[in-house]
Structure 1
Amino acid sequence: MIKIREGLWLGNIWDIESLNQTRIAQHGITHILSMVEVGGFDSTKFGIVRKEVAIDDVESENLLIHLEDCLEFIDNAIVVCKGVVLVHCRMGLSRSVSVIVAHLMRSEGLSFAKGLAEVEKMSSVQAPREIYEELRGIDGVIRERGYVPDIKAVLHRRLRLG
């Protein structure tokens, strides 16, 4: 697990599979956002609030339709509950990184490139670039309008225009 910001950790499926009470206490994990289906993991035995978004790491999946719910989960965990959230997918490279970058774009007003650079700096992982096309689209809206857009409004505009 890699600390990205206070209250925000990046991980992978092996981090989830190796979770125990000691690791949870060590990192203060109170919430888990799983960007992959995790069979057999019972977060309730650790007292952890968990959200699962079972999407595959393939081009045909649309992360944006899930993104607002994911960002609200992270915001609730960090801001409202004063907790610590672990965001993970299978490898900790694409879906989880995308959600964390989107969180940084919205919460800190970072551009897509700066948000990705922040995550890569902390994790020293070079994530595959082809997975970020959806976030690049949001970044364009941020630069045009000067603020981080409501993801649902962007989706509605895209569907309406075509």
Structure 2
Amino acid sequence: MNPYQFPISSAFCGVTKQARDMSTKCGQNCIWEMRKECITSLQKFTARDKSVLRELGITHILNAASGKYRINTGPEFYKDLNIDYYGVEADDDANFDLSVYFHPAAQFIRTGLQSNKGKVLVHCAMGISRAASIVLAFLMISEGLTLVDALRTVGEHRDIFPNHGFLEQLRQLDIKLENKKRSRI
């Protein structure tokens, strides 16, 4: 049985029975509920709406479209909200090497989820390629899912469209993680 059970909605919540029970409280604002913490993958508009961030209880933000000519927020933008921030200046371009951010981003998300009442917002401009790729990498690195399982898990409940370059980088990550598992046996 797949431990990732999600309610029917544009949101995806739930890893355990507790999280499933909580999903009614989570509603449309939470994208992925994980042991009472939240990973949310939304568009840039949510990331700039401080009242929504405060209402959602977001404690950590990973901006996968950071930078002066992209979604220019940053630690200063969120200083009045007491939010930890991690910015990735990624282009949504098949030739951009997003893989160098997979492990640091997964660690940031994991740290956020393990913090007291941690809720992590992962976003880019549209929430379907860069942010989705980062969340897929997190599921693979931190939760032990294969790429196929991560895509299936997320794709059953949210439309995502990582560009073909990011998918290839995720495929390479999948191969490395599988080889690492095999070498431990």
| TM-score (normalised: structure 2) | 0.70
Give the superposition deviation at 1:2: 4.7
Q: Percent identity?
A: 27
User: Structure 1 regions of 5+ residues with no counterpart?
Assistant: 148-162
Corresponding residue of 1:9: 40
- 1:56 & 1:15 partners in 2: Cα distance? 20
Given the superposition, is the C-alpha separation of residues 105 and 128 from structure 1 closer, same or farther in structure 2, using an over 3 Å criterion?
A: closer
Larger displacement relative to structure 2 (138-147 or 82-91): 138-147
Secondary structure of the corresponding residue to residue 140 of structure 2: helix
Q: Does 1:32 align with 2:32?
A: no
Greater helix fraction, Structure 1 or Structure 2: 1
- 1:31 & 1:80 partners in 2: Cα distance? 9
User: Structure 2 regions of 5+ residues with no counterpart?
Assistant: 1-28
Aligned residues: 145
Residues 58-88 of structure 1: CA distance to partner in whole angstroms, max 9, x if unpaired? 1221011122211111111111454110001
- 1:8 & 1:25 partners in 2: Cα distance? 15
Instruction: State how 1:69-108 maps to structure 2 within 5 Å.
Output: 69-108=104-143
Structure having greater relative contact order (Cα 8 Å, sep ≥ 6): 1
CA contact (8 A) 1:3 1:122 kept: no
Corresponding residue of 1:20: 50
RMSD over aligned CA atoms reads 2.2
Given the superposition, is the C-alpha separation of residues 145 and 50 from structure 1 closer, same or farther in structure 2, using an over 3 Å criterion?
A: closer
Give the superposition deviation at 1:24: 2.2
